[in-house]
Structure 1
Amino acid sequence: MTTSSQQPEGKYAAVNGINLYYEVHGTGEPLVMLHGGFGTFATMYSALAPALMETRQVIGVDLYGHGGTVLTERPMSFESMADDIAGLIEYLGFEQADVFGFSLGGAVALQTAIRHPERVSRLILISTPCKRAGWHPEMQEGMTSNSATFFRNTPIYGAYVSVAPKPDDFDRLVSEMNHTLGDDYDWSAQVAALKMPVLIISGDSDGLPPMHAVEFFNLLGGGLRDAGWDGANMVPSQLAILPGGTHYNINFRVDLLLPVLTPFLAGGKA
């Protein structure tokens, strides 16, 4: 992984009408990792990805308009970005892959599972609601209220221009993100129809309240009855609420994440 101010070394996949930047690290079963808004694979998973690379082939993606993937004339949407990921899995020659996403990347991962369930074997979502109203009200407001001028005074802008092939696209990226994150959505019905195992991870002080993560888990059939002495009533999906987890530190709490992620990715129970 590259965390320096130089352009990262990766590859490009011609999928869904764009050139999607990705990196491949490690060996084993494929695990596609999708970062949060205004981030990159290298920056948001600098702590967690190396541990996962020890047992998995980690495919780190820079989502549309982020990092090494430039904006085109195509409008930004969760759905089109999900089609990018399904296209990448096919491009790499995999029938299926585990797909992992945080925040914006979680929404894209979720839409990938909804739109292309045949491509997703297991789904891991961190800090990801199943509907826009699941975010705290202040989070919903913040997603559309910050301008490009505001971001120019934050590390987000410096990180963007250090790796973006077209740094002048930053203002347009902010505009596209405001539009995408401002659109209302409720994917509850589609979530309830998912068949693959889903791991929902949220912090107890996250951008969404723990009660929404529980609601999400309920849609998957989880938490609705006692498991039974032999676990016979458990569902394939799982829920983890991490103590001290916030929307800003949860990706870096490897000590809390790995004990939950490792057994789930191995097909077992935490």
Structure 2
Amino acid sequence: MGVDQMNKPAGQYVSVNGIQMYYEVHGNGKGMPLVLIHGGGSTIPSNWGVLLPLFAEHHTVIAMELQAHGRTGDRNQPESFRQDAADVQALLKLLQVTSANIIGFSDGACTTMEMAIRYPEMVHKIVLISGNYKREGMIPGFFEGLEAATFADMPGPLKTAYLDVNPNPEGLLNMFQKDREKRLAFQDVPEELLKRIKATTLLIVGDQDVITVSHTVEMLSQIPGARLAVLPGNHGSFIGEVLAGTAGSPMPEIAAGIIRDFLGND
């Protein structure tokens, strides 16, 4: 990453693939950049507000808001994990990042998998937190519940988090609808593609997550050399995500320590 970029304020906009993408750069680590990819319905603060400062002590951290999320614009086409990966790749290319470690949570983990599959030259190590590669990896009833969900069912903390950074109710509704459609359209990732992942991989899942532990163990067997950590907690609680985190919990620091140990000196 160029020195000029490091001298800019943390929050910036850049044009990628037809949208204005908001991103932030924190910390000034000397090693490989660390990229954070948020989950569905999230913003940088709502997803990474607790973990980001812990990582920025040791790494140069790049976090962005994906299509239609938070401060990032939208395009006249559905969201998709493949498009999100292309947008992140374009952002990193503009920032002159040739290789990075990437952490993705939930939908962001699916995007991170797409990055590792489609842009292997750009990805060094990946951490997939609460991600899945098959529809059946979700807890029973997940897709049925999502099919019936309306905007009124969107959790209040996620609505507030969006409006805190972008006071646009129409944009919030649009994000909900596009996120819902993206997840409902989820298609299984062929196992042969997982077997081709070259990035050193850490899988993290909660013991009461919306992704089953058994499914994560399946992923462990498909991705060459992958490692696994099962942490006590539900979807997002152990990383301090706004919807599930508990004030004062030691779990985010524990999760950050596990991830930093996995990343090592990279």
- The alignment status of 1:239 with 2:228, answered yes or no, reads yes
Report the alpha carbon displacement of residue 241 of structure 1 after superposing the two structures with TM: 0.8
Which amino acid is 2:213 matched to? P
- The alignment status of 1:126 with 2:117, answered yes or no, reads no
Q: Is the 8 A contact 1:68 1:165 kept in 2?
A: no
- The alignment status of 1:70 with 2:58, answered yes or no, reads no
- The alignment status of 1:58 with 2:61, answered yes or no, reads yes
Report the alpha carbon displacement of residue 86 of structure 1 after superposing the two structures with TM: 0.7
Q: Which residue number in structure 2 is paired with residue 266 of structure 1?
A: 264
1:173 to 1:125, Cα distance in 2 relative to 1, 3 A? same
Aligned counterparts, 1:53-202, within 5 A:
53-151=56-154, 154-164=156-166, 166-187=168-189, 188-202=191-205
Report the alpha carbon displacement of residue 160 of structure 1 after superposing the two structures with TM: 1.5
- The alignment status of 1:208 with 2:211, answered yes or no, reads yes
Q: Distance in 2 between matches of 1:160 and 1:54?
A: 26
Which amino acid is 1:164 matched to? N
Report the alpha carbon displacement of residue 167 of structure 1 after superposing the two structures with TM: 3.4
Q: Distance in 1 between matches of 2:188 and 2:265?
A: 29
Q: TM-score, normalised by structure 1?
A: 0.85
| Runs (5+) with no aligned partner, structure 2 | 1-8, 241-250
Q: Distance in 1 between matches of 2:24 and 2:147?
A: 30
Give the SS at the match of 1:246: coil
Q: Is the 8 A contact 1:122 1:198 kept in 2?
A: yes
Q: Which 10-residue stretch deviates more, 167-176 or 180-189?
A: 167-176
Report the alpha carbon displacement of residue 38 of structure 1 after superposing the two structures with TM: 0.9
Which amino acid is 2:127 matched to? I
| Runs (5+) with no aligned partner, structure 1 | 1-7, 222-234
Q: Which residue number in structure 1 is paired with residue 24 of structure 2?
A: 23
Give the SS at the match of 2:233: strand
Which amino acid is 1:168 matched to? E
**RMSD, aligned α-carbons:** 1.9
| 1:99-142 Cα distance to aligned partner (Å, 9 max, x none) | 11000111111111111111111111100011222111233333
Report the alpha carbon displacement of residue 9 of structure 1 after superposing the two structures with TM: 6.4
Q: Which residue number in structure 2 is paired with residue 232 of structure 1?
A: none
Q: Is the 8 A contact 1:12 1:21 kept in 2?
A: yes
1:196 to 1:174, Cα distance in 2 relative to 1, 3 A? same
Q: Distance in 2 between matches of 1:12 and 1:49?
A: 19
Query: Could you tell me the percent identity over the aligned residues?
Result: 33
Q: Distance in 2 between matches of 1:248 and 1:95?
A: 29
Q: Which residue number in structure 2 is paired with residue 14 of structure 1?
A: 15
Which amino acid is 1:103 matched to? S
Report the alpha carbon displacement of residue 83 of structure 1 after superposing the two structures with TM: 0.2
Q: Which residue number in structure 2 is paired with residue 35 of structure 1?
A: 38
Q: Is the 8 A contact 2:10 2:26 kept in 1?
A: no
1:22 to 1:142, Cα distance in 2 relative to 1, 3 A? farther
Q: Is the 8 A contact 1:70 1:164 kept in 2?
A: no
Q: Which 10-residue stretch deviates more, 168-177 or 62-71?
A: 168-177
Q: Is the 8 A contact 1:100 1:124 kept in 2?
A: yes
Q: TM-score, normalised by structure 2?
A: 0.86
Number of residues of Structure 1 aligned to a counterpart in Structure 2: 245
